[in-house]
Amino acid sequence: MTDLLNFDKVKYIGNSGFKAGDGFHFYNPEEEIQGKKMKDWLKFSVAYWHTMDQRLVDPFGDGTAVRPWDSISDPMDQALAKVDYLFEFLDKMDVDYFAFHDRDLAPQGNTLRETNANLDKVIDKIEQKMHETGKKLLWNTSNLFTDVRFLAGGATSPFADVFAYAGAEIKHSLEIAKRLGSESYVFWGGREGYDYLENTDTKRELDHIAAFFRLAVDYAKEIGYKGQFLIEPKPMEPTSHQYDRDAQTAIAFLKTYGLDKDFKLNLEGNHAFLAGHTYEHEVRFAREAGLLGSLDANMGDKLIGWDIDEFPNDIYESTLVMYEFLLNGGLPTGGLNFDAKPRRQSFEMEDLRLGHMAGMDTYAAGLRVASKLLDDKYFKGILEDRYSSFDSGIGADFEAGKTKFADFENYVIDKPESEIFKNVKSGRQEQIKSTVNNYIFNVLGGK
């Protein structure tokens, strides 16, 4: 096969030198961490909509991207050619997985039948390539937000014909998921929310989308698709309020409608930030609910208010996210999907290579540091010590369900304030943060 992309396969070169770009400094696919190869923990994935389709637009400017497939003018020819580029990119980046929306792959026709036929031609080629290369589909999804018909949402559209269209579209996407062995199936509620409360029947829309999800689960059973369903929370944008605001809101929704046995969460760094949370916060709450499914590994920008989908480069964040990830035992049916794009001024193909390398090294570095934090039981020790007063006495009685408010009253009623405060300890936040810095420096620098 002649090379379409003019760069060599990226290799692990270790912690040598300062300048990035010559190879992976921290991602060593075959190296074992916590008894498992790094590539089996991390399961990196290329996002088709960004890496193959994104023109690097922003709300104020046209696309700047220069791509080798731009010269192919026929839309179907270009769609088919991009599949070759994708698979070569996966090979050269040493990435085993990819993810897509149905509409990322092929142009729409005049009817859903025509659209499906265009899509299936590309799926035929993808299936063939997967077979030849062993690359895998991390997840697929349907785009229910770009086309004008979805201006008020898909599964929460107030218009029944649009709602029906959304259902028909998902049906075909699930057939594709089954055919390609997709590990998960994602619902990101792009316009599933509202712009204006007073023209929206929120209860009716939530009932609709919950029933819609149930139909998806039923259809998956009917066709024998066994992948994990995922909801991807985001607080707003493009709607002013998205129903799946953040992890805790999505968990409450799933439990309210009895969907928590069939769905988990796909959590994204930039979405966490837009919701006013850290990324590790979102991952923590999903993990504790037993609903951590997959990660869209990207970053927000503290100075820009919108979803910028930057490639991850923050090792402090990746360390804390990977710590939660390790406590979860990794992501059996998920991975780290780079829902990320280079900056608008990084318009060359080379920037896609460098962006993925940055993301992969950032999470590989995070995994290494998190593994050491886990081995040393550093955070575990802090928590055990901080809550130790619940291990005996009144605290233990309470946790065992043996106390009533009257028992608390008896216990404290005559104690002087100094006695109550005696066992209150400093949270030592400054020391802990600084210790995490030391872990990062020592684990990554000490070679």
- Determine, following the binding rule CB under 5 A, whether residue 192 of this chain makes contact with Co ion: no
Binding of residue 104 to ligand XUL (CB under 6 A): no
Taking CB atoms within 8 Å and a gap of at least 24, the contacts of 104-109 are 104/48, 104/49, 104/52, 104/53, 104/143, 105/48, 105/79, 106/75, 106/76, 106/79, 107/75, 107/76, 107/79, 108/147
The two three-digit tokens of residue 360, written as one number: 């992969």
Q: What is the 3-state secondary structure (H, E, C) of the chain?
A: CCCCCCCCCCCECCCCCCCCCCCECCCCCCCEECCEEHHHHHCEEEEHHHHCCCCCCECCECCCCCCCCCCCCCHHHHHHHHHHHHHHHHHHHCCCEEEEEHHHHCCCCCCHHHHHHHHHHHHHHHHHHHHHHCCEEEEEECCCCCCHHHCCCCCCCCCHHHHHHHHHHHHHHHHHHHHHCCCEEEEECCCCEECCHHHCCHHHHHHHHHHHHHHHHHHHHHHCCCCEEEEECCCCCCCCEECCCCHHHHHHHHHHCCCCCCEEEEEEHHHHHHCCCCHHHHHHHHHHCCCEEEEECCECCCCCCCCCCECCCCHHHHHHHHHHHHHCCCCCCCCEEECCECCCCCCCHHHHHHHHHHHHHHHHHHHHHHHHHHHCCHHHHHHHHHCHHHCCHHHHHHHCCCCCHHHHHHHHCCCCHHHHHCCCCCCCHHHHHHHHHHHHHHHHHCC
Residue 234: name its binding partner from ligand XUL, Co ion, none (Cβ under 5 to 8 Å by kind).
ligand XUL
Stretch that binds Co ion, among 115-123, 134-142, 173-181, 292-300 (CB under 5 A): 292-300
Residue nearest to ligand XUL (CB): 188
Q: Is 307 in the site for ligand XUL (CB under 6 A)?
A: yes
Give Cβ neighbours of residue 62 (< 8 Å, ≥ 6 apart). 55
The CB-of-101 to ligand XUL minimum distance in angstroms stands at: 6
- Whole-number minimum distance, CB 59 to ligand XUL, in Å? 14
Q: How far is the CB of 338 from Co ion (least distance, A)?
A: 10
Residue in 102, 280, 296, 317 binding ligand XUL, rule: CB under 6 A = 296
Which of Co ion, ligand XUL, none sits in contact with 307, Cβ below 5 to 8 A by type?
A: ligand XUL
Q: With respect to Co ion, which residue has the nearer C-beta, 177 or 274? A: 274
Smallest distance, Å, CB 4 to Co ion?
Answer: 27
Of 142 and 328, the one with the shorter C-beta distance to ligand XUL is 142
Among 96, 169, 268, 280, binds Co ion (CB under 5 A): 268
- Please report whether residue 310 would count as binding Co ion according to CB under 5 A: no
Under rule CB under 6 A, which residues in 6-65 are in contact with ligand XUL? 49
Active-site pick, 25, 50, 94, 101: 101
Q: Which does 141 bind (CB under 5 to 8 A by kind): ligand XUL, Co ion, none?
A: ligand XUL
Per-residue x/- track, 141-180, ligand XUL (CB under 6 A): x---------------------------------------
Q: Interacting stretch for Co ion, rule CB under 5 A, among 142-150, 239-247, 335-343, 382-390?
A: 335-343
User: Of 185-244, which residues contact ligand XUL (CB under 6 A)?
Assistant: 186, 188, 232, 234
Catalytic residue, chosen from 104, 246, 307, 339, is: 104
Query: Residues binding ligand XUL: what is the number (CB under 6 A)?
Result: 11
Binding track, positions 339-368, relative to Co ion; x by CB under 5 A: x-----------------------------
- Only segment of 81-89, 290-298, 373-381, 406-414 that touches Co ion (CB under 5 A): 290-298
CA distance 363 to 380: 22
101 catalytic? Reply is yes
Q: Which does 28 bind (CB under 5 to 8 A by kind): ligand XUL, Co ion, none?
A: none
In one letter, which amino acid is 1?
M
x/- mask, ligand XUL, residues 249-278, rule CB under 6 A, reads -------------------x----------
Residues 337-366, interacting with ligand XUL (CB under 6 A): 339
How many Å apart are CA 60 and CA 122, to the nearest integer? Answer: 32
Contact between 296 and Co ion per CB under 5 A: yes
Residues recognised as catalytic:
101, 104
The binding site for Co ion (CB under 5 A) comprises 268, 296, 339
Q: Which residues contact ligand XUL (rule: CB under 6 A)? A: 49, 101, 141, 186, 188, 232, 234, 268, 296, 307, 339
